[in-house]
Amino acid sequence: MALTTEEVRKIASLARLRFTPEEEAAFAGQLGKIVDYIDQLQRLEAGAGSAPLAPLPPISLAAPEDDDSPGPCLPRETFLANAPAVLDGFLLVPEVRRTSTADARQVPAAGPGVGDDL
Amino acid sequence: MTCNPDLWGLPAEELARRIRGREVSAAAALESALERTARVEPLVHAYLEIFEEAARARAGEIDREVAAGKDPGPLAGVPVALKDNLNLEGHRLTCASRILEGYVAPYTATAVQRLLDAGAVIVGRANMDEFAMGSSCENSAYQETRNPWDVATVPGGSSGGPAAAVAAGSVAVGIGSDTGGSVRQPAALCGVVGVKPTYGRVSRYGLVAFASSTDQIGPIARGVRDAALVTQVIAGHDAMDSTSAERPVGDLLATIEEGIAGMRIGVVKEIDVVLAAQAAAAAPGPAPNDMAASFRAALAALEQAGAELVEVSIPSLEAAIAVYYVIATSEASANLARFDGVRYGRRSPGAASLSEVYFDSRSEGFGAEVKRRIMLGTFALSSGYYEAYYGKACAVLAQMRAELTAAFGRADVVVTPTTPSAAFRLGEKVDDPLAMYLSDIYTTPASLVGLPAVAVPSGFDGQGLPLSLQIMGRPFEEATVFRAARAFERQAGWQVAPRFRGAEVGAG
């Protein structure tokens, strides 16, 4: 099954990835070839009617019996030390722009580069 | 104490014994390893970073403990290389990806802490395929690692760095992670021993996640006894990993020399079909036929050692790659969503909105194979395809589990080749992702079903490159698998030092 460039673009958007047109074309071919191979699964009769919803853990994992009590966790400074940008003990990100024209209640963004990204 | 130049070649077990017995110092052992590393590293490029200073400080600590009459543990002073996806507090960790450039581990993985508690000296972080995705180490964003047997060939992957480091004599022990074969396959290609413990046997706390239903941490060593010793050290329940099993580990070395007289060894019937199809498909090179011959010789050696061969049937073996690459990529697409340029790792400098932070950081930070797998997993989970791909893969996996359970009713362990062929040449499969995936045919079933498996050297192909036998066991029966692997190692005796073909060798 060959994937169209349109499909590749849609999957990329779901995965929060962006590709150049050349990359899209390459991915369409490669993914199509892999999907063709994986399609052999469709020929197998296995597990009809009893398909589990997820790959069951290979062992039965007992539910933890510990009290669900608070314990020490990673100190905030330690965690933030790896963050690309921080302000007053919080993660700092650029403004969250409007996600669609329907959602107009959000504060309009000031500054350059205003646009819908998602 | 003087520096003994041969210490690097000792098994971990023997080295620790000498250090605990004050025959040699941990410092001398480390210097020997570092000298050997300086000699072979320019040929194999196994490391992304060597922690020279920290390792020297640590070796000094071990020596002070010994001098004070304390026992540092069963790995006292043993130099160990970590795959670069295991956290060691205060040290960098990249998963061989640009997206984690500059990341510093904020805590230590449980398995690594257990190594330290047993006296190990961590000497560096070793190369890998980016985010453990690959079978050749060529997907590292930083460097190509070479196979010590022939530096024009790949070391395998994704734990190619630790495997090459162990094979080259830099360290006695490497620690890798195995999701679909990532410890066993590079161990096979580098002619050393690799272990994938039972799912739940070793805590994954502090291991960067790839596919959470199969990821396991496992050791690489030059012999089966060392592999068992290190498995023993890192195994056991950990409250920090909810998938870690509350099962006693036992003493994995206690029965390891007992041999396999009367042991029932399952030989998978479908392997003949796979080998034949492969031989027919692979026009260039005699490798698959060599593998078939080597596998038959391995079976004969096991029989000679007293085992009884029984035929078992795993019809779903042929579908293993398809099942694995649906399930593993689906899980990867979810696990790798966390790398978004917000909390850690690289943020695209030009991003002007939150959405651009996500898209640009990920697109610039991930390499081609990681993107390919995220795309495949996203596709398999997407609306309209979920049932046909992810749902179907789970159903076939249930079938595979049933077949393997039945096989282990007839057999105590099940054997296959570890890989379809010996090491391939650098660049040979880079442009054909599917061909690369197919090298995992034999290793993915134990991953998907969660079984313990050991790869043990089984001879050489016509080009003089190592081949390997895989021995799988029932869940939590690592001791049986190690006993079989050790018996095979004694019977067949394939441990030979690599020759660094294609390079000016300063090894010796």
pLDDT at residue B249, as a whole number: 94
Is the pLDDT confidence value at A57 over 60?
A: no
Report strand pairing: B453-460 vs B466-473.
antiparallel
B25 catalytically annotated: no
Q: Which amino acid is it at A23? A: E
Handedness of CA B173, B174, B178, B182 (dihedral sign): negative
**Among partner residues A11, A78, A93, which is closest to B106 by beta-carbon distance?**
A78
CB B201 within 8 A of CB B177: no
Band the pLDDT of A101: cuts 50, 70, 90. Answer: very low
Query: Domains in chain A, please, with CATH?
Result: 5-43 (1.10.20.60)
Q: Say if A67 is an interface residue toward chain B (CB within 8 Å).
A: no
pLDDT at residue A110, as a whole number: 37
Quickly list H helices, A1-118.
5-14, 21-38, 76-80
**Domain limits, CATH 3.90.1300.10, in chain B:** 7-234
Q: Say if A113 is an interface residue toward chain B (CB within 8 Å).
A: yes
pLDDT at residue A64, as a whole number: 58
CB B133 within 8 A of CB B208: no
β-bridge partners, B413: B265, B473
- Token output for B205: 């706390």
CB B7 within 8 A of CB B27: no
Band the pLDDT of A114: cuts 50, 70, 90. Answer: very low
B421 catalytically annotated: no
Half-sphere exposure of residue B408: CA atoms within 13 angstroms, side-chain side: 19
Summarize the confidence of residues A2-26 as an average pLDDT: 92
Summarize the confidence of residues A77-99 as an average pLDDT: 90
pLDDT at residue B398, as a whole number: 93
Mention every residue, 6+ apart, whose C-beta is less than 8 A from residue B20.
Answer: B66, B71, B72, B76
d(CA B94, CA B127): 10
Catalytic pick from B135, B140, B158, B439? B158
Q: Which residues of B touch A56 (CB under 8 A)?
A: 398, 401
- For residue B373, the chain A residue with the least C-alpha distance is A31
pLDDT at residue A116, as a whole number: 38
Mention every residue, 6+ apart, whose C-beta is less than 8 A from residue B438.
Answer: B321, B420
Summarize the confidence of residues A8-27 as an average pLDDT: 94
Q: Say if A62 is an interface residue toward chain B (CB within 8 Å).
A: yes
Of A68 and B403, the one with more pLDDT: B403
**Strand, helix or coil at B175?**
strand
pLDDT at residue B407, as a whole number: 96
pLDDT by 10-residue block (mean), chain B, 508 residues: 72 98 98 97 98 98 98 98 98 98 97 98 98 97 97 97 97 98 98 97 97 97 97 96 92 97 96 72 57 92 97 94 96 97 94 95 97 96 92 93 95 96 93 88 96 96 94 97 97 78 60
Share above pLDDT 90 across residues of chain A, in percent, rounded to a whole number: 42
Q: Which amino acid is it at B353? A: S
**Alpha carbon distances (Å) from B337 to B251, B333, B374, B380:** 39, 6, 9, 15
A30 contacts B322? CB cut-off 8 A:
no
- How crowded is residue B70: how many other Cβ atoms within 10 Å of its Cβ? 13
Which numeric CATH code is attached to B7-234?
3.90.1300.10
β-bridge partners, B104: B92
d(CA B488, CA B310): 17
